Amino acid sequence: MEDKIKEKLKELVKPKRYKHSMFVAEEARKLAKIYNEPVEKAYLTGLAHDIAKSFDNKENEKWIKRYDLDEKWLSKENEKLIHAEVGAVVAKEYFDFDDEMCNAIKYHTIGNDIMTNFEKIIFIADKIGREELDEEISKVKDMAYKDLDKAIMRFLEKQQKDFLIKGKKLHPITIKLFNNLKKG
């Protein structure tokens, strides 16, 4: 399965994105070991998480229609998020991923108000699975190996600050996740 995913990724994403996917897969594998989640499953999910990242609008529209997904994902405001929604159904179709794997792909960008540990692993692995990390993301990475929820909260705090500078807001679903994590 790993080879099949890598072949498809090489066909569908740019080399830089492929490299990122390899880093995310490795982080997901390490985190899964720590949090007693299925290690190989986490690795494969991390590998495939951005499979739809390079799709253009036409390709996204094809998948949205094929799987009767909400067409709101085609809007301009969701252009950086649609790959997660579409990627989940692509992974299901191409690799027969189970629901847990598909949900982890679906939620890896904005999260979900209630997430499983498996989904959290893929979410945070995407944020820390990079060749170069700034100081704050390095702290998030260190924290991820001790407490997933605290790592996600710290990442979201950073993202919220970054977005405020750019005049943007966190997605409403991300805000729900953030608030749920704060409640503990």
Q: How many domains does the chain have?
A: 1
Q: Are 34 and 145 in contact (CB under 8 A)?
A: yes
Burial zone of 134 (CB within 10 Å; 0-12 exposed, 13-18 middle, 19+ buried): exposed
Q: Are 27 and 128 in contact (CB under 8 A)?
A: yes
In the chain, helix, strand, coil percent, each to 5? 70, 0, 30
pLDDT value of residue 16: 95
pLDDT value of residue 93: 97
CA proximity to 60, closest of 72, 49, 48: 72
Single-letter amino acid, residue 50: D
Domain that holds residue 77: 2-183
Spans of the chain below 50 pLDDT = none
pLDDT value of residue 175: 93
Q: Per residue in 140-177, is it b (16+ CB within 10 Å) or e — as a string?
A: bbebbeeebbebbbbbbebeeeeeeeeeeebbeebbbb
Neighbouring C-beta atoms of residue 120, cutoff 10 Å: 25
Q: What is the CATH number of the domain that holds 146?
A: 1.10.3210.10
pLDDT value of residue 75: 87
pLDDT value of residue 91: 98
Q: Are 5 and 18 in contact (CB under 8 A)?
A: no
pLDDT value of residue 183: 86
Q: Are 109 and 119 in contact (CB under 8 A)?
A: no
Q: Are 95 and 4 in contact (CB under 8 A)?
A: yes
Task: Please state the φ and ψ torsions of residue 96, each to the nearest 5 degrees.
Answer: 55, 40
